[in-house]
Every structure is written in structure tokens, then in C-alpha cells.
């Protein structure tokens, strides 16, 4: 599926850390969308499959109602069964070509990449966009070491599909990503750890618009 870069200016990635339950999590998602997030990834690492699917179905319905794209993290089966717009996979998950074969041509396939080689391989396999990072030190994924600014620039120059940076991005450091050729940023705590998620989204969208390539 061809995804417009403008959709990726602000890419929200959920984290249950700051939500008491699914209702609270979905309320945060709605606030993020109202603040300008054009695409949201539902990320759950501890839920049982049945619970994850039930939550995903509610998540997809919410995103559809609010006009945002819905992405499921890692789980291709949940993405397919919930009717999500797509799935995002890492280098340790199913290869993008396999994901495409399962989901079909109309769904979005996002892939994490940390080098030009990984980025080009994902593009060739049918990825619609790339998530590149970690851009900065991040507490969300402690095993994700930051990659060099030069690597981000090399990736965006090498591929034709949209690229978002992810990992430790905040209102305080996002400006340093200017000139990297990015189409947007993916954020977790910079949104969902904030008291006013909608206001945080609105500010981050403005900052992302300023650093995004045209």
C-alpha cells in the first residue's frame, strides 16, 4: 500500500506503562490522534493473544472512526484478524516479503532498519515505510543502541519509501534530526507519558513538520 509521507509526520507508538487499563490506553490513543498523529501503532508485549486481539479490534475501530491509520506491532495474525491497516515488524520477526504474502497488497507493512543494507532489503521485499533507530538513547527498548546521524542520512538517501526515526525522540531533541531526510518521527513516552497527550501531540507534530524533508 502506498502511504503518503504526510501521514507519518507524527507516528504514535503505544505503551501500557502509562495506562491503567485498555480503556485508558485507548483514551490516550484518541487524544494523540486529536493532537495530530496520523498513524498509531498498538504495541503489546505481555498480553495473551486473545486479549491482544480484543484490544486490537477496539483500537482499529477507534482509529478508523478518527481517521488515523492503525498498525499492529509484530503480530501479523492479530493484524489480519483485527482488520488493522497494517503491521510493523523488526529484523527478528517475519521478513517483509512473508508478511506481504500473508496480508496482501492492500495492507501497510513497516519494517525496522538499522543500516542501509537492512533498509534496501526491506524496500525490495515490499515494505511501505521504514522505522530507523534508535535515534537517541531510549528506555523503551534498552537493547536498542543509538545509530549515527550519518547512518540515518545514508538510509533516507538510499531508499524511495518514507522513513521515520524512532527511539528516545522528545520535544527537546527532535530539532537535531533536521537535515536527515526524514518524513517524520515515531514517539512513545514523548506522547503517552505526558499529562496532556493531545497538547504534546500538537507540539510534536509542529516540530516534526519543521524537520521533515519536502
SS3 for 127?
coil
Q: How many CB atoms lie within 10 A of CB 214?
A: 5
Using CA atoms, how far apart are residues 164 and 154, in angstroms rounded to an integer?
13
CA-to-CA separations, 106 to 7, 69, 93, 211, in angstroms, rounded: 16, 13, 20, 29
Using CA atoms, how far apart are residues 27 and 66, in angstroms rounded to an integer?
12
Joined grid coordinates for residue 177: 534530526
Q: Give catalytic status of residue 16 as yes or no.
A: no
Contact between 113 and 140 under an 8 Å Cβ cutoff? The reply is no
Q: Which of 43, 81, 149, 171 is catalytic?
A: 43
> What phi, psi does 69 have (nearest 5°)?
-80, 140
- Name the residue among 120, 142, 124, 93 with its Cα closest to residue 132: 120
Q: Give catalytic status of residue 112 as yes or no.
A: yes
Q: Give catalytic status of residue 202 as yes or no.
A: no
Contact between 181 and 157 under an 8 Å Cβ cutoff? The reply is yes
Q: Which of 9, 70, 100, 112 is catalytic?
A: 112
Please report the sign of the dihedral spanned by the C-alpha atoms of residue 87, residue 90, residue 92, residue 94. Answer: positive
Q: Which of 141, 149, 171, 213 is catalytic?
A: 141
Active site residues: 43, 112, 141
Amino acid at each position: 500500500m502506498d502511504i503518503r509521507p504526510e501521514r507519518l509526520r507524527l507516528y504514535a507508538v503505544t505503551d501500557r506503562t502509562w495506562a491503567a487499563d485498555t480503556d485508558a490506553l485507548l483514551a490516550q490513543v484518541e487524544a494523540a490522534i486529536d493532537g495530530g498523529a496520523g498513524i498509531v501503532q498498538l504495541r503489546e508485549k505481555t498480553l495473551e493473544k486473545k486479549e491482544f486481539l480484543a484490544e486490537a479490534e477496539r483500537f482499529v475501530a477507534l482509529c478508523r472512526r478518527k481517521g488515523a491509520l492503525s498498525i499492529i506491532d509484530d503480530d501479523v495474525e492479530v493484524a489480519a484478524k483485527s482488520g488493522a491497516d497494517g503491521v510493523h515488524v523488526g529484523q527478528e520477526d517475519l521478513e517483509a516479503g512473508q508478511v506481504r504474502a500473508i496480508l496482501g497488497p492492500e495492507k501497510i507493512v513497516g519494517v525496522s532498519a538499522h543500516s542501509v543494507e537492512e533498509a534496501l532489503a526491506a524496500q525490495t521485499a515490499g515494505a511501505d515505510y521504514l522505522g530507523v533507530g534508535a535515534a537517541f538513547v531510549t528506555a523503551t527498548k534498552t537493547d536498542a543502541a543509538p545509530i549515527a546521524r550519518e547512518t540515518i542520512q545514508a538510509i533516507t538517501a538510499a531508499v524511495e519509501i518514507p522513513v521515520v526515526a524512532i527511539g528516545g525522540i522528545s520535544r527537546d531533541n527532535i530539532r537535531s534530526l533536521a537535515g536527515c531526510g526524514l518524513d517524520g518521527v515515531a514517539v512513545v513516552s514523548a506522547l503517552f507519558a505526558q499529562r496532556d497527550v493531545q497538547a504534546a501531540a500538537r507540539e510534536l507534530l509542529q516540530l516534526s513538520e519543521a524537520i521533515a524533508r519536502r
